[in-house]
Amino acid sequence: MSTPALPTRLPAVGTTVFTQMSQLALEHGAVNLGQGFPDFGCDPKLLDLVNEAMRAGHNQYAPMTGIPALRTAIAAKLERLYGRRYDEAGEITVTNGASQAIQSAILCSVHPGDEVIVIEPAYDCYLPAIALAGGVAVPVAMRVDSAGYSVPWDLLAAAVTPRTRMIVVNSPHNPTGSILRAADLEALAAIVAGTEILVLSDEVYEHMVYDGEEHASVSRHPVLAERAFVVSSFGKTYHVTGWKVGYVAAPASLTREFRKVHQYNVFSVNTPMQHGIAAYMEDPAPYLELPGFYQHKRDLFRAGLAGSRFELLESSGTYFQCVRYGAISSLPEAEFARWLTVEAKVAAIPVSAFYSRPTESGIVRFCFAKKDETLQKALDTLSRL
Ligand code: PMP
Ligand code: GLN
C-alpha cells in the first residue's frame, strides 16, 4: 500500500523567509531584526482585560461576525480616524488576524482565471491565496531610487486588462517602509473608477506613520472605499502578534460574500481576546501614541546607522527600515542576510524574498520593533561593518 500522489496546488511555496531567518538567528545567537515582531511585552492592562473576560465566562464560540462590542469599537475608530461610517452589523467582520482576512477576501472574490494585480515587493501571503483561488497574480514592480520606493501608477494602469478582478495595495508597506499618500489614492481611484475592479487594502501598520503624516486609508476615499476590503490587525497595534485577531471593513455586498467564506474557514475568532480588545479600545491613547513610540525607535536605529556604510532608504511607516549594503558586500540579498546573521550576528530579511521573479536590488530589511537595548546591541555591530 502506498500513499496516493498529491499534486501540489502551491508548487512555489516552501518555508517562509521569516521562519527561516528566525531559526537561523536562534541557531547562531544573532540579534533578530529579521521577522517582524516586538521583543517587548504588551500593556498589562490588556492582559488583565483578557483575563477578566475568561474568568467572566467568555469562553465559548463568539458570533461568526465577531462580538458586537468589538465591531462597534472598530466602526467608531474607523469613523473617528478616517471619516467613513461602516455599519458594525453588516460591514465589519472580526478575523483570525489579517492573514485570514486577506485569504478570505481573495477566496470570496477571485474566480479561476481572474487577474489580481500585486505591487512588488509584496508581503508573502497574497500570492498563495490568489493561486488557491485559481487566480493569476500580475506583479507590478515598485520603483526604487536613492530616496526609496514608490508605486509606478502608469505601469500599474497598463497592467489592467478586462480580466483584472482586484488590485492589492499595502500601506504602510511591508517590506519597504514606504507609504501611500493622498495623490496615490487619487491615482488608484482614477484606475478603478467606472470598472468592476475590487481593491484589497492591507493596512495592518495603519497606526505606524511618522513625521506627522496621516495614514492614507483607502476607507477615506469614497471611490475606493465603495469597492474595497480594508484589513487591519490588532497584533501590530497592541504588540501581540501571537494573538492573531484582526478585522475587515467592507461595503455590505462585499461583506456578505466575505462572510460566506469566513463562516466555513474559521467560523469565529477567539472569544476572550475579542472581549479584552473591545474593552481596551475604549481608550484611543494606545494607538494614538503608537507613531511617537515607534518613531523614537526608527530615529534611534537610523541615527545609529547614519555614519555606517549602509545606505538608509525612506521609512515613513511600519516598523521596518530598508538599507542598501552595496558598500559592504556584493553578495546577493539572501546570501548577504545569511552572512549577516551567521557572521555579524544580526538577522535581516532579504527584500528579494518579496518578489515572484528573481529581483536583486542589494537591499535588506531590518525590523526596529525591539527594545532600545536590543537595537543598540545590533547597532554596535552594524555601524562597524
Ligand atoms: N500583512 C502584512 C503587511 C503583514 O506584515 C502582516 C504581519 N506579518 C500581515 C498582513 C498578517 O497579519 P496577522 O499576523 O494579523 O495575520
Ligand atoms: N509580518 C511579519 C514580517 O513581515 C512576519 C509574519 C510571519 O512570520 N508570517 O516579518
Does the beta carbon of 65 sit less than 6 angstroms from any atom of ligand 1?
no
Task: Return the pLDDT at 7.
Answer: 86
Domain with CATH 3.90.1150.10 in the chain: 17-36+288-382
* Integer Cα distance of 316 and 314 in angstroms: 6
Buried-exposed string 67-77: b where 16+ CB fall within 10 A, e elsewhere: bebbbbbbbbb
3-state secondary structure of 165: strand
Each residue of 230-250: pLDDT tens digit?
999 999 999 999 999 999 999
Query: Domain 45-282 adopts which CATH fold?
Result: Aspartate Aminotransferase; domain 2 (3.40.640)
Each residue of 168-182: pLDDT tens digit?
999 999 999 999 999
Task: Return the pLDDT at 171.
Answer: 98
**Ligand at shortest distance from the CA of 367:** 2
Does the beta carbon of 103 sit less than 6 angstroms from any atom of ligand 1?
no
Sequence-separated (6 or more) residues with CB below 8 Å from residue 250: 91, 93, 105, 228, 229, 230, 258
Assigned architecture for domain 17-36+288-382: Alpha-Beta Complex (3.90)
What stretches of the chain show up as alpha helix (H) in DSSP?
17-27, 44-55, 68-82, 97-109, 126-132, 153-159, 182-192, 222-225, 234-237, 252-265, 271-280, 285-288, 290-305, 333-339, 372-382
Question: What would the grid cell of residue 291 be?
Answer: 507613531
Nearest CA to ligand 2 atom 4: 36
Domain with CATH 3.40.640.10 in the chain: 45-282
Expressed in angstroms and rounded, the spacing between residue 98 Cα and the centre of ligand 1 is 5
Average pLDDT over residues 71-95: 98
Lowest pLDDT segment from 3-7, 317-321, 368-372: 3-7
Closest CA to 304 of 384, 212, 367: 384
pTM of the model: 0.98
**What number of other Cβ atoms are within 10 A of residue 99's Cβ?**
20
Average pLDDT over residues 78-84: 98
